[in-house]
Amino acid sequence: MAIASRASKRALSTFAAAATAAKLPEEAVAAAGEAVATAEPLPSATPASFERTSSSRVLGFEDTGRLFAGEPTSALVRTLAALQALSVGPLVDVATAALRSPAVAGSALGRAAARATAYRHFCAGETAAEAAAVVGRLWRGGMGGILDYGIEDAEDGHACDRNAAGFIAAVDVAASLPPGSASVCIKITALCPITLLEKTSDLLRWQKKHPSFNLPWKAHSFPILSDSSPLHLTASEPPALTPSEERELELAHERLLAVCARCAEHGIPLLVDAEYATVQPAIDYFTFVGALAFNGEASGEVPIVHGTIQAYLRDARDRLEAMVTSAERERVRLGLKVVRGAYLTRETRLAASLGVPSPIHGSIQDTHDCYNGCAAFLLDRVRRGSASVMLATHNVESGQLAAARAQELGIPKGDRNLQFAQLMGMADGLSLSLRNAGFQVSKYLPYGPVEQIIPYLIRRAEENRGLLSASSFDRQLLRYGHCPN
């Protein structure tokens, strides 16, 4: 099948109609806009002198009074309490086991407990209007927001259609907010059934191992896999897609292109999350087909479609260099979000069950080195004008290094093609320090019903588990009022 370079009129009309039925009423969208009407767009930061500066001087954590100025004391106390609770490993183990239990997570009591604890800390609300109000508060405080309608792992086409409508509604809400204040994040597993993504990924891996293997449905894309990718996940030739599966794959593309088209209409950046190894090749394939369609020279100041690189994967740097080379050759501005990765437990268990090497780096330092190397590589492309990057990190050293490198390269701090991002409820000290230094910063804002967000909450709880977790730096800043040694 041929994938059109723009969403078909049928797809647009179908999902636009569904979005009209599923999104907020117009008065609610208007109310969301009014909630932030007083928040004027932030002026672009004046470029600094760009003298060579050590990373420790670019970001400041020593003066916590200035760092947390404007943050209500009650909010800081709640944040410390939540992060402290999450640092208690046995407590987190019990909580995540409960959240994984359908009997608990599906009960009114279980949902109420989750809503009052982890959900309140990590999520922006149950509706787009509530999330939009959070964007407004962030914007007034000098940061932006990433709206993430928290749905994933669709089982059939009907669920995918509903999810596409929800994503389009999120774009409409983002468009009602001050220009530049909001972007939208989606998951491909919400737009295409999981079983089809797994089968498509197997076929893409097999073609990488056997280049003459024909995939009649495959459209032109950037490189998806490298020789260092976990090709062993597909040990034998997978069956071809059936005609009905090819049709469902085409519909999934149309759903994605419809969301992309709505983003392009309003100039809203679209961030496509990476997920787990069994489906990631198909996710990258979808993402890059969308990027080729919408990230041309006419896409505006910032490219519309952004893929994601997970630095904890051994093949991350190889794939990054291949896709950047391909995009530059085709004169398509590449948009990428760089993360470490959030599926460590899942990937490790899968590799162990199959008796194959893990796709994850062998040490945390290797992951740090990969992240920092990918960030430096992309910052150079931002300077050249060939890429747009969002550096999503909770690691203070990575933030410091990237900020210093951007300054050395002379990238203006108001350049929207360089943004930093952290999750709501995490790394607030880093977010505020980057903001205070003049960089563009956004917080990732998942929203939706509690039961819908539970997989996300489990990942956050695991990420913050233990005294030496990702939140240890913020806990010390909040508790002792100084930068940890």
Confidence at residue 374, expressed as pLDDT on a 0 to 100 scale: 98
Distance from C-alpha of 347 to C-alpha of 277, rounded to nearest angstrom: 7
Q: Which amino acid is at 400?
A: Q
- CB-CB neighbours of 472 under 10 Å: 15
Confidence at residue 481, expressed as pLDDT on a 0 to 100 scale: 56
Q: What share of the chain is helix, strand, coil (3-state, %, to 5)?
A: 55, 10, 35
Please, what are the domains in the chain?
Answer: 8-19+123-457 (3.20.20.220)
Least confident of 95-104, 212-221, 468-477: 468-477
Kindly report, residue by residue over 304-350, the tens digit of the pLDDT.
999 999 999 999 999 999 999 999 999 899 999 999 998 888 899 99
Residue 474's closest CA among 87, 55, 97, 8? 87
Confidence at residue 38, expressed as pLDDT on a 0 to 100 scale: 37
Distance from C-alpha of 180 to C-alpha of 414, rounded to nearest angstrom: 11
Confidence at residue 207, expressed as pLDDT on a 0 to 100 scale: 97
431 φ/ψ angles, rounded to the nearest 5 degrees: -60, -50
Please say if the pLDDT value at position 288 is more than 90: yes
Please say if the pLDDT value at position 238 is more than 50: yes
Q: Which residue has the tokens 């964007």?
A: 135
Q: Report, as an integer, the average pLDDT of 43-51.
A: 30
Q: Report, as an integer, the average pLDDT of 390-412.
A: 95
199 φ/ψ angles, rounded to the nearest 5 degrees: -65, -40
Distance from C-alpha of 408 to C-alpha of 411, rounded to nearest angstrom: 8
Confidence at residue 278, expressed as pLDDT on a 0 to 100 scale: 94
- Contact present, 427 and 121 (Cβ < 8 Å): no
Please say if the pLDDT value at position 178 is more than 80: yes
Q: Could you tell me the end-to-end alpha-carbon distance of the chain, in angstroms, rounded to an integer?
A: 58
Confidence at residue 49, expressed as pLDDT on a 0 to 100 scale: 25
Least confident of 85-89, 155-159, 198-202: 85-89
**Would you tell me the crossing angle of helices 128-140 and 26-35 to the nearest 10 degrees?**
20
Give the percent of the chain with pLDDT over 90. 61
Per-residue pLDDT band at 26 (split at 50, 70, 90): very low
Partners of 389 in the beta sheet? 336, 418
Least confident of 75-84, 147-156, 342-351: 75-84
Confidence at residue 461, expressed as pLDDT on a 0 to 100 scale: 66
Please report the beta strands in 128-247, taking only residues with DSSP state E, as ranges in sequence order.
144-149, 182-186
Distance from C-alpha of 296 to C-alpha of 285, rounded to nearest angstrom: 17
HSE-CB for 110 with a 13 A CA cutoff: 16
* Tokens linked to 74: 């009650």
Q: Which amino acid is at 286?
A: F
Confidence at residue 91, expressed as pLDDT on a 0 to 100 scale: 62
Residue 307's closest CA among 342, 278, 283, 279? 283
Q: Residue 473: enclosing H or E segment and its boundaries? A: helix 472-480
Per-residue pLDDT band at 75 (split at 50, 70, 90): confident
- CB-CB neighbours of 446 under 10 Å: 25
Please say if the pLDDT value at position 482 is more than 60: no
Please say if the pLDDT value at position 484 is more than 80: no
Give the percent of the chain with pLDDT over 70. 78
Please say if the pLDDT value at position 27 is more than 70: no
Distance from C-alpha of 376 to C-alpha of 360, rounded to nearest angstrom: 21
Q: Which amino acid is at 113?
A: A
Per-residue pLDDT band at 40 (split at 50, 70, 90): very low
Partners of 447 in the beta sheet? 149
- Contact present, 405 and 376 (Cβ < 8 Å): yes
- Listing DSSP states for 278-339 in one string gives TTHHHHHHHHHHHHHHH-SGGG-SS-SEEEEEETTBTTHHHHHHHHHHHHHHTT--EEEEEE
Residue 319's closest CA among 281, 290, 289? 281
Q: Which residue has the tokens 């990924």?
A: 201
Q: Report, as an integer, the average pLDDT of 400-419.
A: 95
Helices (H), 141-242: 157-175, 194-209
Please say if the pLDDT value at position 259 is more than 60: yes
Confidence at residue 111, expressed as pLDDT on a 0 to 100 scale: 73
More confident residue, 414 or 239: 239
Least confident of 8-17, 79-88, 157-166, 342-351: 8-17
Q: What 3-state class would DSSP assign to 125?
A: coil
Please say if the pLDDT value at position 112 is more than 90: no
Confidence at residue 48, expressed as pLDDT on a 0 to 100 scale: 31
